[in-house]
Every structure is written in structure tokens, then in C-alpha cells.
């Protein structure tokens, strides 16, 4: 399960996963990404700090690594603290790099991700305000 917040003026999407991470989460994100296609590009922060358990297998990660980035030349930052998730995200990043695409950054805290993009949590609001969902 995840929540989505948006900082529209700086074009940053914050996706905060919680509980159990599943393939269905990525299916829902793909649908959201399709709705955003053709619009302005956004940087995306994937905050996995509150993921308690992952049901995502390495085969799925390798398949996703074969897909091009939705917004080329924009940042994708994964906030990952759990070692098992770090391995999956690193695998994904390696697949992206092997295709010649910009791999996502991996950081240890949400504060680090926000600082990297020059935004604060106070700047985020519901996605409907930005017309994303």
C-alpha cells in the first residue's frame, strides 16, 4: 500500500510505501504513470522507510529494470533502509544502467531525498490538487 503527495511548483511526486510491498503496488503506480504521460515531467521519491515486508521477487525486479524510465532526465530517488529492499533496488538500478538509462539514486533517509531535490515536506499536498490522479 502507498500514499501519493505532490509538490506541483517544483514538480516532485512523493510516494510513501507502508506495510507490505507487493506487485499490485507497482501495477497501481504504472496506471498512475500512464495518466501522467504527456504532461509535465516530475522527479519521484519512492519512500520505502515504512515497508514491513516485501512480496516482490527478484524476477519481477529484473523485468521492471528492463522498462524505460517514465520521465527521462528526471530524478528517481529510493529511500531504503532495510537491507533486503536495498538489494532489490540496487538490482533494479543495475538493470536500468545496463540499458543505458539513468539509474535511480538510493538514499538512507527521506530528509536526504528531499534535500537532494530542494523541497520540504510542507510543500507537498494531495495529488488531486496537481491533477495527477
Q: Residue 18 belongs to what domain range?
A: 2-130
Number of domains in the chain: 1
Reported as a single tens digit per residue, the pLDDT across 28-41 is 988 887 787 778 89
Reported as a single tens digit per residue, the pLDDT across 77-124 is 999 999 999 999 999 999 999 999 999 999 999 999 999 999 999 999
Reported as a single tens digit per residue, the pLDDT across 1-31 is 999 999 999 999 999 999 999 999 999 988 8
As a whole number of angstroms, the distance between CA 61 and CA 21 comes to 12
Report the alpha-carbon angle 60-66-2, nearest 5: 50
Residue recorded with cell 504504472 = 30
List the one residue out of 59, 101, 53 whose CA is nearest residue 76. 101
CATH code where residue 51 lies: 3.30.750.24
As a whole number of angstroms, the distance between CA 81 and CA 122 comes to 23
pTM: 0.92
Secondary structure letter of residue 45 according to DSSP: E
Residues 6+ apart with CB under 8 A from 127: 4, 5, 6, 13, 133
Amino acid at each position: 500500500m502507498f500514499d501519493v503527495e505532490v509538490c506541483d511548483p517544483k514538480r516532485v511526486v512523493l510516494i510513501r510505501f507502508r506495510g507490505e510491498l507487493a506487485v499490485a503496488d507497482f501495477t497501481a503506480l504504472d496506471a498512475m504513470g500512464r495518466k501522467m504521460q504527456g504532461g509535465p515531467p516530475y522527479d519521484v521519491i519512492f519512500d520505502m522507510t515504512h515497508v514491513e515486508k516485501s512480496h516482490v521477487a527478484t524476477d519481477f525486479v529484473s523485468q521492471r529494470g528492463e522498462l524505460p524510465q517514465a520521465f527521462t532526465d528526471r530524478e528517481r530517488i529510493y529511500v531504503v533502509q532495510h537491507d533486503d529492499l536495498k538489494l532489490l533496488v540496487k538490482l533494479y538500478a543495475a538493470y536500468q544502467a545496463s540499458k543505458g538509462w539513468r539509474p535511480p539514486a538510493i538514499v538512507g533517509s527521506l530528509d536526504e531525498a528531499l534535500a537532494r531535490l530542494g523541497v520540504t515536506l510542507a510543500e507537498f499536498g494531495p495529488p488531486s490538487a496537481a491533477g495527477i490522479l
